[in-house]
């Protein structure tokens, strides 16, 4: 089965990010395909490379990044939600006059069309969070 996954909640304020990660990991380990993971609303905060949780806590951003690297996942962050929350890549930083970036390089910023395409191309769109 081919899945598209939408994550709507941030990494430490809600269980949704953990649940989405474990769902994606389990699906991939069972041989299913994850067409794309789309981070929307507060879910875009799962992509910031500046997250530094305490040593005894889980690093959800790093978990996502490692999973993306291991399975060559397409990890897309909604551009409008990212801009509202201060998550920027090089292109967005230049366009908006910012002096730095904070997105992990294993994520990319794009528009809602990427979510629509993922839903069309997949057998199921699974949404985590409100």
Report, as residue numbers or ranges, the catalytic residues.
78
- How far apart CA 84 and CA 44 sit, in angstroms, is 10
φ and ψ of 128, to 5 deg? -115, 120
Instruction: Please report which helix (H) or strand (E) contains residue 35, including its range.
Output: strand 33-39
Alpha carbon 20 to chain centroid, angstroms: 10
3-state secondary structure of 39: strand
The angle formed by the CA atoms of residues 110, 112 and 116, to the nearest 5 degrees, is 120
């Amino acid at each position: 089965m081919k899945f598209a996954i939408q994550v709507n909640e941030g990494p430490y304020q809600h269980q949704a990010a953990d649940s989405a990660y474990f769902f994606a990991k389990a699906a991939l380990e069972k041989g299913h395909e994850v067409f794309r993971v789309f981070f929307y609303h507060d879910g875009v905060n799962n992509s910031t490379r500046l997250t530094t949780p305490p040593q005894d806590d889980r690093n959800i951003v790093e978990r996502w990044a490692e999973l993306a690297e291991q399975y060559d996942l397409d990890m897309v962050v909604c551009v409008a939600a990212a801009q509202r929350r201060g998550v920027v890549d090089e292109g967005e930083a230049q366009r908006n006059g910012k002096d730095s970036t904070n997105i992990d390089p294993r994520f990319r910023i794009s528009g809602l069309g990427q979510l629509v395409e993922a839903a069309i191309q997949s057998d199921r769109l699974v949404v985590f969070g409100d």
